[in-house]
């Protein structure tokens, strides 16, 4: 007795074929014979797997078919997550955010990938990825238990609506990220303009970031910056501390130094948002101290 299971798609059919070819020999060792036939049908290509039982093992044809369908479902779910997902995201962005330029849509796409993969660099090992993989696998396997013919595009559209909704949500969040980043870049350009149009009040400024995330400013001789350089941004900075991010950035823009040296007393200080802003505004004027007396907790 022979059972035929067909899979059709307009894309990635060769990838599916390669993945399945690798395991067909293993199925034969388990008493399951699988013959593969490729059939074009318009823009679709169908892979027809003819499954038969050769009687080598003690199992039944039904058990062998279930084993094959489970592997097939695992392969399909893996291809959906690792390959179709990229196609779906790009389609969603192209259809819903067509008014953005190609470069802007590419950036939105990269943001969306970060959201859908929860920012994991090796996201295949994350519980979130495994949960999505398990959910799609269950859906595919449930479908194959009752049908011997599956079209990937139709299955995704009608059987994975929750999954595609998740992708749309990731795209929407990516657009929000893109708009925030664009506003930030416009803000940085404005701050750079303010810096460029004024004469430096001090050639060199040292910014001390203490272990309690409090900032202090020193001049080139590593003496506290005088308050009259700041024109009202800080009433008295001689021995006072700056613990507001925007105040630090505003103070440095007011001084417009030719060189800024960052000193850290805390191991997490280099990644603080205000320091990123300082680097973006002052670019090549900024350097980091490799270690000095100013960096010690005594200051």
Both 216 and 138 in one domain: the answer is no
pTM of the model: 0.78
Where residue 291 falls (left for φ over 0; alpha for ψ -120 to 50; beta otherwise) is left
- Residue 197 is assigned to a structural domain of this protein: no
Is 5 inside any structural domain?
no
Classify strands 259-264 and 204-209 as parallel, antiparallel or unpaired.
Answer: parallel
pLDDT score at 297: 66
pLDDT at position 228: 56
Q: Are residues 183 and 209 in the same domain?
A: no
Distance CA 245, CA 277 (A): 10
Name the pLDDT band for 272 (thresholds 50, 70, 90).
low
Report pLDDT for 237: 45
pLDDT of residue 216: 84
Whether 60 and 183 share a structural domain: yes
> What is residue 234's predicted lDDT score, i.e. its pLDDT?
46
- Same structural domain for residues 150 and 72? yes
Residue 199 lies in a domain: no
Average pLDDT, the chain: 84
Q: Give the Å distances, CA to CA, from 62 to 2, 58, 69, 149.
A: 11, 12, 10, 17
Tell which of 189, 223, 251 closes a domain: 189
- 239: containing domain: 204-295
Domain for residue 134, yes or no? yes
| Distance from C-alpha of 150 to C-alpha of 72, rounded to nearest angstrom | 11
Assigned domain for 100 exists: yes
Residue 15 lies in a domain: no
Q: Name the β-bridge partners of 230.
A: none
- My answer on whether 184 and 208 are in the same domain is no
240 and 127 within one domain:
no
Please check whether residues 70 and 108 belong to one and the same domain.
Answer: yes
Q: Is residue 38 part of a domain?
A: no
DSSP conformational letter for 74 = H
63 with 174, same domain: the answer is yes
Report the pLDDT value the prediction gives residue 299, as an integer from 0 to 100: 52
Residue 174's SS3 state is helix
pLDDT tens string 217-249: 898 888 888 755 554 444 444 445 554 677 888
Domains: count for the chain: 2
Last residue of one domain, picked from the residues 189, 218, 247: 189
Q: In this structure, are 119 and 94 located in the same domain? A: yes
User: Cβ(195)–Cβ(253) under 8 Å?
Assistant: yes
Strands (E), 56-98: none
In a domain, 256, yes or no: yes
How big is the chain by its Cα radius of gyration, in Å? 30
């Amino acid at each position: 007795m022979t059972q035929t299971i067909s899979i059709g798609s307009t894309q990635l059919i060769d990838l599916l074929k390669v993945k399945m070819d690798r395991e067909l020999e293993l199925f034969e060792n388990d008493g399951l014979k699988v013959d593969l036939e490729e059939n074009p049908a318009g823009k679709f290509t169908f892979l027809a797997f003819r499954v038969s039982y050769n009687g080598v093992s003690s199992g039944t044809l039904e058990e062998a078919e279930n084993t094959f369908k489970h592997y097939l479902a695992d392969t399909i779910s893996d291809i959906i997550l690792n390959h179709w997902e990229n196609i779906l995201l790009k389609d969603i962005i192209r259809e819903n955010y067509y008014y953005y330029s190609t470069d802007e849509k590419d950036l939105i796409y990269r943001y969306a990938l970060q959201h859908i993969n929860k920012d994991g660099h090796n996201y295949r090992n994350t519980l979130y990825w495994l949960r999505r993989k398990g959910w799609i696998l269950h859906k595919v396997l449930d479908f194959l238990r009752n049908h011997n013919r599956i079209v990937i595009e139709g299955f995704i559209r009608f059987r994975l609506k929750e999954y595609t909704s998740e992708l749309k949500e990731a795209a929407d969040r990516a657009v929000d990220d893109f708009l925030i980043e664009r506003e930030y870049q416009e803000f940085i350009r404005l701050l750079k303009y303010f810096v460029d149009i004024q004469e430096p009040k001090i050639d060199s400024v040292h910014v001390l970031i203490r272990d309690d995330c409090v900032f202090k400013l020193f001049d080139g001789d590593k003496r506290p910056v005088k308050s009259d350089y700041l024109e009202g941004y800080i009433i008295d900075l001689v021995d006072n501390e700056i613990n507001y991010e925007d105040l630090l950035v505003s103070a440095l823009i007011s001084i417009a130094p030719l060189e800024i040296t960052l000193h850290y007393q805390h191991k997490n200080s280099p990644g603080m948002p205000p320091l990123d802003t300082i680097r973006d505004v002052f670019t090549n004027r900024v350097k980091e101290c490799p270690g000095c007396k100013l960096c010690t907790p005594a200051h």
